[in-house]
Amino acid sequence: MKPETVGIIGAGQMGAGIAQVFATSGYRVRLNDISEEALQAAHSKIETGTARLVQKGKMEDEFRRTALSRLSIMADLSELGQCDLIIEAATENEDTKRRIFKALEPSLADHSILASNTSSISITRMASQTDRPDRFMGLHFMNPVPVMQLVELIRGIATSSETFETMKAVVDSLGKTSANAEDYPAFIVNRVLIPMINEACYALYEGVGNVVSIDAALKLGANHPMGPLELGDFIGLDTCLSIMNVMYSGLADSKYRPCPLLVKYVEAGWHGRKAGRGFYDYRGEAPVPTR
Ligand code: CAA
């Protein structure tokens, strides 16, 4: 069955981006968050983001208005239960995700497929705690969602072939490309990307370079669109740390130990761009390196 209505739980930067992409691809979207403020912020972010596309001539104004009319925001989780597909895009914390799926369960339609946008947590384990491990899988979008081409598809051990094929077709319908990843900690993209960011933190911690030189080295020396420290700030240093911790415990290999400097930034609440401060300070006109 082709999903037509999509529920998205979590109205942060990922949830808002996912909602925008589904709404502009013809799906009816219900975006949920416990915070009314986050819902309003996500809605205006989507309005602004799509208005920019109209300004640039990349989207017709009428198309935009129709897409926005397909999007509703709601603070009551149970209103998502009858959606054909429900994507959880909450904080990268397994307990939070487990509590969300449990709270959703009583209102779920039999046919609903559950997906998690987790960037590292075991799909098999999360699926096993729901009433439908065969209709559960990982659907991992990249940030910024409207721009990035890739979506990782992660099958849990119990995910049915029908669910997998349905999700693959959904990704195609968004105009994005899927890559299949096995269900091991951090899957493919983050298994490679986050240790690189962690290594850049070690280079900073050990004084191999400062923030500016490390970022310039990778941008200009390896043609990365953003330096690793700038990218860490963009992803969120709290998210980077939690992914390192999932790999460190899940793969039981010391090569994944989080850099103490990364831990310190997170402990300070300097979580990157969203917090106004990370490896750069974003509170002024232009980002200022903190080291
Ligand atoms: N939302 C929507 N569109 C955005 C955007 C956003 N947040 N940021 C930029 N864009 C659009 C711009 O409007 C622009 O569109 P046009 O080409 O149509 O004009 C285009 O993207 C390029 O933007 P800019 O010219 O402003 O800036 P840029 O060329 O520096 O590109 C970038 C910005 C696309 C973010 C680029 O820096 C980049 O690719 N960075 C790396 C991003 C990355 O690695 N993401 C993956 C992170 S890992 C992840 O997400 C997984 C995880 O679980 C942690």
Does residue 51 have its Cβ closer than 6 Å to ligand 1? no
The domain that holds 218 is classified in CATH as 1.10.1040.10
pLDDT digits 0-9 by tens, 20-31 = 999 999 999 999
Q: Is 108 helix (H, G, I), strand (E, B) or coil?
A: coil
Q: Does one domain contain both 167 and 197?
A: no
Q: Is residue 142 in contact with ligand 1, taking CB distance under 6 Å?
A: yes
Question: For the purposes of burial, counting CB atoms within 10 Å of the CB of 209, is it exposed (0-12), middle (13-18) or buried (19 or more)?
Answer: middle
Give the model's pLDDT for residue 119. 92
Alpha carbon of 144 to ligand 1 centroid (Å)? 5
pLDDT given at position 165 = 97
Inside any domain, residue 286: no
Q: Of 18, 53, 147, 240, which is best to mutate to test ligand 1, by the most ligand atoms within 8 angstroms of its C-beta?
A: 147
Per DSSP bridges, beta strands 280-281 and 288-289 are antiparallel
Tell the residue number behind the tokens 């596309």, with chain if given.
53
Using left for φ > 0, alpha for ψ between -120 and 50, and beta otherwise, residue 73 falls in beta
- 91 within some domain: yes
Final residue in a domain of this structure, among 128, 154, 181: 181
pLDDT(153) > 90: yes
pLDDT digits (tens, 9 = 90+) for 98-111: 999 999 999 999 99
Catalytic residue among 112, 116, 190, 198: 190
Pocket lining: 57 vs ligand 1, CB cutoff 6 Å:
no
Same domain, 137 and 247: no
Question: What is the pLDDT of the chain when averaged over all its residues?
Answer: 97
Which atom of ligand 1 approaches the CA of 193 most closely?
48
Rounded to whole angstroms, the Cα distance separating 181 from 201 reads 26
Cα 142 to averaged position of ligand 1 atoms, centre (Å) = 10
- 125, 151, 181 - which closes a domain: 181
Contact residues for 245 (Cβ-Cβ < 8 A; gap 6+):
258
At residue 273, the pLDDT reads 95
In-domain check, residue 111: yes
Residue nearest atom 15 in ligand 1 by C-alpha distance: 147
232 located within any domain: yes
Domain that holds residue 259: 191-279
Q: In whole angstroms, how far apart are CA 126 and each of 138, 217, 239?
A: 10, 39, 18
Q: Where among 161, 181, 201 does a domain terminate?
A: 181
What does the pLDDT average to over 136-158?
97
Question: Do 27 and 161 sit in the same domain of this protein?
Answer: yes
The pLDDT-based confidence of 286 (bands split at 50, 70, 90) is: very high
Which strand (E) or helix (H) includes residue 210? none
Q: Are residues 211 and 274 in the same domain?
A: yes
114: nearest Cα among 146, 148, 75, 77: 77
Q: What does the pLDDT look like over 176-207, one tens digit per residue? A: 999 999 999 999 999 999 999 999 999 999 99
Domain of 41, CATH number, reads 3.40.50.720
Ligand 1 contacts CB of residue 210 (under 6 A): no
Nearest to 121 by CA among 103, 96, 147, 146: 96
CA 105 – CA 128 distance, rounded (Å): 13
Give the residue whose CA is nearest to atom 54 of ligand 1: 235
Catalytic residue among 112, 116, 117, 119: 119
Amino acid occupying residue 130? T
Residues 141 and 171 in one domain: yes
Domain shared by 27 and 89, yes or no: yes
CA 234 to ligand 1 centroid distance, Å: 10
Rounded to an integer, what distance in angstroms lies between the CA atom of residue 93 and that of residue 48? 29
| 152 is a catalytic site residue | yes
The ligand 1 atom at the shortest distance from the C-alpha of residue 17 is 1
Q: Per-residue pLDDT averaged across 30-58, rounded?
A: 97
pLDDT of residue 140: 98
Residues with Cβ < 8 Å from 77, sequence gap 6 or more? 9, 32, 100, 103, 104, 107
> Catalytic: 119?
yes
In a domain, 206, yes or no: yes
Share of the chain above pLDDT 70, in %: 100
Number of folded domains that form the chain: 2
Residues 25 and 156 grouped into a single domain: yes
Is there a single domain that holds both residue 162 and residue 26?
yes
pTM over 0.85: yes
Q: How many residues does the chain have?
A: 291
> pLDDT (tens digit, 9 = 90+) per residue, 202-244?
999 999 999 999 999 999 999 999 999 999 999 999 999 999 9
Distance CA 70, CA 58 (A): 19
Across residues 63-89, what is the average pLDDT?
A: 97
Band (1; pLDDT cuts 50, 70, 90):
confident
